[in-house]
Chains A and B, each alone.
Chain A
Amino acid sequence: MDRRNKVVLVTGASSGIGRGLAVELARRGASVGLLARRRNLLAETVDHICEAGGRALALPADVTDADAMRAAAYKLRREFGPIDLLIANAGISVNTFVPDLCEKKIAQLINVNVIGVVNSVSAVLRQMVDQGNGHLVVNSSLAAYRGLPKSAAYCASKAAISSFFEALRIDLKGSGVDVTIIYPGFVKTPLITNIIRTPYIMEVDQAVQKIVRAIEKRKKGYSFPWQLATIARACKLLPIPMYDWIAARNSFRG
């Protein structure tokens, strides 16, 4: 699929996979709206894209603010036209320890990772359905497959958005709006700084190439790298006691 003239909104675009996707899609000819809270980082990336001859717009906003998200989508439409593709990528990660759960931190994570995605979808979906085409992409995680040690909140948030998008995929059948769920493993981004074991870790550029390919093929779901994806799928089939035994001995977090 030709990305030329496509209008793309990427959330969490100031760093990591979001930034990589924005730069790559702009390079392939898309007009990209980069959304994140950190204004200066956005400006840097937008400059970088424009210098290379691409079209990009910085949209400083917080995904947890539904009104700000709507306003940002409006601004992008006014600048570049109707939005063809949303990449709901913004996400954070925290360690969850027992027994002191620190529910404020968990609420904040659910707010960014789940409500943030919902706000992003809500800001663009009406227009996509009205025009009869569009594409919703969410950056989930292989952590959505099963609960992982010390990652209760993160896994819960990724399982939540995966199910949310799966339900939307069914509801949107026939509307012309496609839905893609991306399940990455470990990618070298700021998100994984508090993770100590990162098997099959990938460079951002490599992950970005894989994700772009999945988006262009309009895949319904895409898990990578294949080694960790295979392990995650196998874990889903394990009986609970066996899974618990293995998971407890293979914690990714300290």
Chain B
Amino acid sequence: MDWSNKVVLITGASSGIGRGLALELARRGANLGLLARGVESSQLAAVAGSAALLSRTAMEPSPRLLEVVDQIRRETDSGSKAGSQRTMALAADVRDAKSVRTAADRLRDEFGRIDVLIANAGIGATTDATELDPEEVARVLNVNVMGAVNSVAAVLPEMVERGSGQLVALSSLSAFF
């Protein structure tokens, strides 16, 4: 498969399997939107002074995500076949439908389209039946289920309109039992 003309959006890209997929697809030449939770751009706000009001709530990519982007840049610069590969870091929280939509829009604005979604963001938690904490369960479902729904919702209309696209979900073998 030729990845070099593809645009791939990966959620949960700052660590683990998401990060691994990002590095591998970059090596294969795919253009990437790497999405992960951001950090508040407080430093920026402090420096910018009068612009602080505007940027106070703005999120910027987390250091971990930027590290992944850096590593991809280093690898592609060192003359692999990736050539014109491009990567974009996107700060968004998959629990927040609007922020995922905004991130997907930014990626489309930059790269023109999204061909593949890899809905990978997820968390794990130990549930103790006798000390059941509804908030903890809600948190897991919010990230693992609604996160995937929000990601699909952000990319699907464009894919259907274009008549092509691919949705990939990272589930788990634990779904089989």
Which A positions have Cβ atoms within 8 angstroms of B? 66, 98-104, 106-107, 110, 114-115, 118-119, 121-122, 125-126, 129, 153, 156, 160, 163-164, 166-168, 171-172, 175
The chain A residue sitting closest to B98, CB to CB, is A103
B16 within 8 A of A: no
Taking a contact as CB atoms under 8 Å apart, the answer to whether A118 and B130 are in contact is no
How many residue-residue contacts, CB under 8 A, span A and B? 73
Interface of B is mostly: helix
Do A115 and B137 contact each other (CB < 8 Å), given the known contacts A98-B156, A163-B175, A175-B130?
yes
Residues of B at the A interface (CB closer than 8 Å) are 97, 127-135, 137-138, 141, 145-146, 149-150, 152-153, 156-157, 159-161, 175, 177
Structural contact, A119 and B134, CB atoms closer than 8 A: yes
Task: State in angstroms the CA–CA spacing of A160 and B137 once bound together.
Answer: 11
Residues of the B chain whose Cβ atoms lie less than 8 Å from the Cβ of A122: 132-134
- A residues within 8 A CB of B161? 99
Minimum-distance CB pairs A-B, first 7: A171-B129, A99-B160, A101-B153, A99-B156, A99-B157, A122-B132, A103-B153
* Given A98-B160, A99-B156, CB of A104 within 8 Å of CB of B137: no
How long is the Cα–Cα vector from A101 to B150 in the complex, in angstroms?
9
Q: Which residues of A contact B175 (CB under 8 A)?
A: 163
Residue in chain B with minimal CB distance to A171: B129
Determine the distance from Cα of A106 to Cα of B95 in the docked complex, in whole angstroms. Answer: 13
Q: A114-B145, A126-B132 are in contact. List 8 more A-B contacts (CB 8 A).
A: A115-B138, A118-B132, A121-B132, A122-B132, A125-B130, A126-B130, A163-B177, A166-B177
Partner of A107, one of B132, B146, B157: B146
Which label, helix, strand, loop or mixed, suits the secondary structure of the A interface?
helix
Contacts of B134 in A (CB 8 A): 66, 115, 118-119, 122
User: In whole angstroms, how far apart are the Cα atoms of A150 and B135 in the complex?
Assistant: 29
With A163-B175, A167-B127: A107-B135 Cβ-Cβ less than 8 Å = no
Question: Is the CB–CB distance between B150 and A160 below 8 Å?
Answer: no
